Amino acid sequence: MQYLLRDYLQAPAGLHLEMLFGIGPATYFYTRSVTDPNYSFRRVDLIHFLPVLLEFVYYRSQYFQESHEWMLKGEAHHSITFYLIVKLLGVISIFVYSGISISILLRFRKWVIQQSSNLDRDGLFWLFGPVLTLSLIWLIWFGLRFTDMFLFNNYYLSDYFYIIFIVIAIISCWLGFQGYIRKPIKIIGFSSAEMNMDKVNSSQTFSELEVITEKCDEVMLQNKLYLQPSLTLKQLSEEAGYPAYQVSKAINAVNKMNFNDYVNLFRLEEFKKRMLADEDRNFTILALALESGFSSKSSFNHVFRKITGETPSAWFKRVQNSKS
């Protein structure tokens, strides 16, 4: 391993291009693309990759060649200091863009919960997964690298250098493959403007909000909207005759829950009725859950346990025992 590292350090300086300044922007634009289907890359966005061009020029300059030579000699030189500053700025770039990306994802997650009645938890993971995983890997890598560089003079470099990058390559390929084969989250009516819907001022009194929730309850029961797995806040608001932001605020203020939990309460009650109905005894739990509006087994189990504190089979057994 030490010989491999020696060959790496002795390689021509022109072969070096670490692309540190490209990782952050790539993460950011990935996040923008998966959270906003209306987003498209514009020419002005290329400015985010300007540091990559500067990095490219630097790694092919005589100044970097000098730092390369001084590093091989193991002696201090201002060109090495500049090289370390460039790497540090690259690290800062990665974590700034990662922080912005995570902030966007958190806002989007909040929006999804408010908009969608069937939260795809696996889908949400594959929004957060690549950003969080790669950010964590880079955090570990840079922590090891700078600790070793400044405290141990690269003494342990041969123990982790290629191992870390092989791990990064494997995980990156795995995340890319899994992300490609998985179905992305799609919510009808999504737009960047609606994502900021919760910021719209609403001056309704609590009694007025109660009227809105009563209307929502009415249309939910009469039209059985909760049986639609893809039911959204926008669809409910159109049925109730109120703006989406008012419906969202009413559900939050009066029922003390978000839209997702609100709809799932209706679905859960529907499931319980079907579970206890004699004509549905021959159906499986999963079949009844899907008929009640849930989109998947995992979603149903999560909601049922969250609300009742027990599994569907345990609940059914307890209810049956109480009757006997």
Residues ≥6 apart with Cβ < 8 Å to 1: 158, 159, 161, 162
In a domain, residue 191? The reply is no
What are φ and ψ of residue 242, in 5° steps?
A: -130, 155
Q: Which range of residues forms the domain containing residue 61? A: 2-181
What is the Rg, in whole angstroms, of the alpha carbon atoms belonging to the chain?
Answer: 27
A 10 A CB-CB count for 83 gives 21
122: tokens are: 């696996």
Domain co-membership, 252 together with 276: no
Decide if 158 is inside a domain.
yes
The pLDDT of residue 160 is above 70: no
Residue 157 lies in a domain: yes
Which has the closest alpha carbon to 96: 45, 148, 138, 140?
Answer: 138
- Alpha-carbon span 118 to 230, nearest angstrom: 7
Distance CA 147, CA 141 (A): 10
Cα–Cα dist 285/281, whole Å: 9
65 in a structural domain: yes
What are the pLDDT digits (tens) for 45-101? 999 999 999 988 888 888 888 877 776 666 778 888 888 888 889 888 988 998 898
Bigger pLDDT: 187 or 237? 237
* Amino acid identity, position 118: N
Average pLDDT over the chain reads: 79
Quote the pLDDT of residue 158. 63
Residue 281 and residue 242 in one domain: no
CA distances from 87 to 37, 69, 156 (A): 34, 17, 19
Residue 132 lies inside a defined structural domain of this protein? yes
Q: What are phi and psi of 169, to 5 degrees?
A: -65, -45
CB atoms within 10 A of CB 231: 23
Asked whether the CA dihedral 84, 85, 86, 91 is positive or negative, the reply is positive
Closest alpha carbon to 285 in 295, 275, 273: 275
pLDDT of amino acid 125:
62
104 shares a domain with 43: yes
Phi, psi of 116 (to 5 degrees): -100, 140
Q: How far is CA 267 from CA 161, 252, 263, 299, in A?
A: 52, 18, 7, 12
Q: How far apart are CA 246 and CA 251, in angstroms?
A: 9
The number of residues making up the chain comes to 324
Residues 73 and 170 in one domain: yes
Take residue 204 and report the two structure tokens written for it: 């309704």
The string of pLDDT tens digits covering residues 119-130 is 655 556 666 777
User: Which domain CATH number covers 289?
Assistant: 1.10.10
Q: Are residues 154 and 101 in the same domain?
A: yes
Do 111 and 142 fall within a single domain?
Answer: yes
**pLDDT surpasses 70 at 206:** yes
List the one residue out of 298, 215, 288 whose CA is nearest residue 250: 215
Residues 19 and 111 in one domain: yes
Does one domain contain both 279 and 165? no
Least confident of 43-47, 83-87, 180-184, 305-309: 180-184
Asked whether residue 195 carries a pLDDT value surpassing 70, the answer given is no
Is 307 part of any domain?
yes
Question: Would 68 be classed as within a structural domain?
Answer: yes
Q: Do 217 and 150 fall into the same domain?
A: no
> Are residues 38 and 122 located together in one domain of the fold?
yes
User: Tokens 């079907």 correspond to what residue?
Assistant: 274
In a domain, 324, yes or no: yes
Same domain, yes or no: 36 and 168: yes
Q: At what angle do helices 2-10 and 157-181 cross, to 10 degrees?
A: 80
Cβ(187)–Cβ(115) below 8 Å = yes
Confidence class for position 211, pLDDT limits 50, 70, 90 = very high
Strands annotated E in the chain: none
Pair 25, 133 in one domain: yes
Does 3 have pLDDT greater than 80?
Answer: no
- Count up the domains in the chain and report the number: 3
Q: How many Å apart are CA 304 and CA 277, to the nearest integer?
A: 18
Contact residues for 271 (Cβ-Cβ < 8 A; gap 6+): 288, 289, 292, 294, 300, 304, 312
**End-to-end CA distance of the chain, in Å?**
71
pTM score: 0.65
